[in-house]
Amino acid sequence: MKFFSGFSFKNESELFKDFLADEDFCVSGFSYGAIMAFEFALYSLNRVDRVQLFSPAFFQDKDERFKKLQLVSFEKNRQKYLENFYKNAVFPRDTDITKYKTEGSASQLETLLNYTWDKQKIKNVLDKGIKIEVYLGKLDKIIDAQKAFEFFKDFTTIHYINKGGHIL
């Protein structure tokens, strides 16, 4: 199994142990890492049977002003931005994520904010015989889980966790 970490996270796959498919041909990713996992599955020449997207970074419902404000806030005071980000990521649980924290870059943040989940790309992955699973927490304070659900519902298997947040 290959796992891609989220923005400002490292080695956090164990946070998703209840959901992770421990299979040789599975690719998984959390938030920003979900983008990387999806792109890996899309373009990989290696065998991939399943891609698991945990709280995929879904911001195509946000306007340019929102995205610019995120980037400016990050550049202005990274520590404060990340403190707030981590607080929102763990909600509604009180999960200790200290050992998973790392400082992401402005370019990573810009990538995740501006990434567009493309229906044709999703179809291309499905046409390769790859199963796509999306995991969303209803109480997510980072992305709008309902809008992500509406987008992905016609293409993927969705696991919607009613009492889950960004870290599910």
At residue 94, the pLDDT reads 87
Read off the amino acid at residue 112: L
Q: CB within 8 A of 154, min separation 6: which ones?
A: none
Global model pTM greater than 0.85: yes
Name the CA dihedral angle for 29, 108, 119, 141, rounded to a multiple of 10 degrees.
70
| Count of residues in the chain | 168
Return d(Cα 143, Cα 32) in angstroms, integer.
11
52-61 pLDDT tens trace: 999 999 999 9
Averaged pLDDT for residues 121-127 = 98
As a whole number of angstroms, the distance between CA 143 and CA 13 comes to 19
Q: What is the pLDDT of residue 103?
A: 94
Radius of gyration over alpha carbons of the chain, in Å?
Answer: 15
In the chain the domains, ranked by start, together with CATH numbers, are 2-161 (3.40.50.1820)
Q: Where are the beta strands (DSSP E) in 26-162?
A: 26-30, 50-54, 131-137, 157-161
Mean per-residue pLDDT, 103-114: 97
Q: Is the pLDDT of residue 35 over 90?
A: yes
Over range 12-19, report the average pLDDT: 97
Looking at the predicted structure, is the pLDDT value of residue 78 above 90? Answer: yes
Collapse the DSSP code of 121 into the 3-class scheme (helix H, G, I; strand E, B; otherwise coil) and give the result: helix
Q: Quote the strand ranges of 12-156, DSSP E.
A: 26-30, 50-54, 131-137
How would residue 66 be classed by pLDDT, with cut points 50, 70 and 90?
very high
What does pLDDT average to over the chain? 97
pLDDT, residue 161, reads: 97
